[in-house]
Structure 1
């Protein structure tokens, strides 16, 4: 009887630890928030490959300026491709449990690619995403969905 009583708290603790670990993971769906207007712009899904590389793809545009927009200002393989479904984060690697770097992020409305880094904040409920050119960086805070 005593063994069974101990198994319940241990199982509960393991469950709590495992769910906490997934909350502090960059993978998942994120609502992007425009840093200038404060308005939600899109939903980005971040995934991690078996080699540990993180990528992010726009799965939904919220209130697009025109139906089915394409990246007409892009200069790489994404030129004239639909923005919905587009991979905007490429090559990101984990530095530690909450910080990621070494990748790039595309701003589709400008067609520009920036060096990028990400940081999980507020216990993994938000993701600070920065794009940099030289020493000038801009950041947005995305909200986990």
Structure 2
């Protein structure tokens, strides 16, 4: 009986951390229309966080945009499959990296902070002291 109680206590203690798992698929929300725009799969490899575009919300089944404004090897590459969040590290409960997030529409990279709040993902891109925060929603 004691072992069962201890197992239940351990489960209850770890349950909030399981629910707060950051990995998985998240919907990005369009700033202008406030509608889902794309799906990004968040993964962690070797302690670093990555985000790859895995799908779009578009009525055209052949919608497959290219990263026309991207520089170097990413120029004219399909956005689907592109890693837009690149190698963030966790510091004080927040994932961060200079030039860690790519905006495929503009081709620009930004310093980024990423954290969970109330079950949503807060993604904040920075240029100097100026920033914009997007809220991504976990895909069910």
Give the distance between the partners of 1:79 and 1:64, measured in 2 at CA. Answer: 25
Gaps of 5+ in 2: none
Q: Which consecutive aligned stretches of 4+ in structure 1 deviate over 4 angstroms post-superposition?
A: none
Bigger shift: 9-18 or 36-45?
A: 9-18
1:57 aligns with 2:52: yes
Q: Paired residue for 2:77, among 70, 75, 81?
A: 81
1:130 aligns with 2:134: no
Q: Relative to structure 1, is the Cα distance of residues 67 and 30 closer, same or farther in structure 2, using a 3 angstrom cutoff?
A: same
1:115 aligns with 2:111: yes
Higher Cα Rg, which structure = 1
The DSSP-based 3-state class of the residue aligned with 2:4 is helix
User: How many residues are paired up?
Assistant: 137
Q: CA RMSD in A?
A: 1.8
Q: Relative to structure 1, is the Cα distance of residues 114 and 127 closer, same or farther in structure 2, using a 3 angstrom cutoff?
A: same
Q: Paired residue for 1:35, among 31, 34, 57?
A: 31
Gaps of 5+ in 1: none
